[in-house]
Amino acid sequence: MRVYIDMDDVLCAFTAAHRKALEINSEIRYPQSVEGFFLMLEPLPGAIEVVNEFRSKFEVYILTAPSTRNPLCYTEKRLWIEKHFDYEFTNQLIISPNKGLMIGDYLIDDHIEGRGQEDFTGELIHFGSEDYPDWQCVRTYLAQKFTETV
């Protein structure tokens, strides 16, 4: 099973940090363009534990679209992976503006369209939706799928 996992608002708390940054300084209109923004994002509850478990069972890639107005995001996303997982996992990082180009079984993403999610030929797991509100729900679902395939 090949599984792709989005970063912003799936692995890391992008929206919460964005909102907080605007509260602190509303003059910075695009906090995501500030150096350090992506590296400082907090992991979402359960994200690290569940993804590490997935890594032992599935072929896991991190698939994230870049914030092209902030060229530092490419580096910071790579550094974030090493900070919260390990160096080895940085080899699984894919930064692509079009997620529909990837071939695989599952894509875990908080958006169902806009960055090629609508063209993904595998199954889209809509993170944050009623069916998959958090990592425990995604864990349960994919663990069941895994049992069915082996």
- Is 8 part of the annotated catalytic residue set? yes
In this structure, the number of other CB atoms found within 10 A of the CB of residue 85 comes to 19
- Cα(34)–Cα(105) distance, rounded to whole angstroms? 35
Write the binding mask 5 to 34 for Mg ion: x where contact by CB under 5 A, - elsewhere: -x-xx-------------------------
CB of 127 to Mg ion, least distance (A): 8
Q: Which of 93, 42, 35, 40 is nearest to 67 (CA)?
A: 35
CB of 142 to Mg ion, least distance (A): 18
Residues 65-94, interacting with Mg ion (CB under 5 A)? none
Could you say which of 44, 58, 110, 138 contacts Mg ion (CB under 5 A)? 110
Residue in this structure with the two tokens 């929206």, named with its chain if needed = 15
CB of 110 to Mg ion, least distance (A): 4
Residue in this structure with the two tokens 């082996």, named with its chain if needed = 150
- Which of 6, 9, 109, 110 is catalytic? The answer is 6
- Cα(19)–Cα(7) distance, rounded to whole angstroms? 17
- Cα(33)–Cα(147) distance, rounded to whole angstroms? 42
- Is 119 part of the annotated catalytic residue set? no
Q: DSSP for 105-118, please give it.
A: SEEEES-SSSSSGG
Q: Which residue is nearest to Mg ion (CB)?
A: 8
For Mg ion, which is the closer residue by CB, 88 or 94? Answer: 94
Any idea which residues carry the catalytic annotation?
A: 6, 8
Can you give the binding site for Mg ion, defined by CB under 5 A? Answer: 6, 8-9, 110
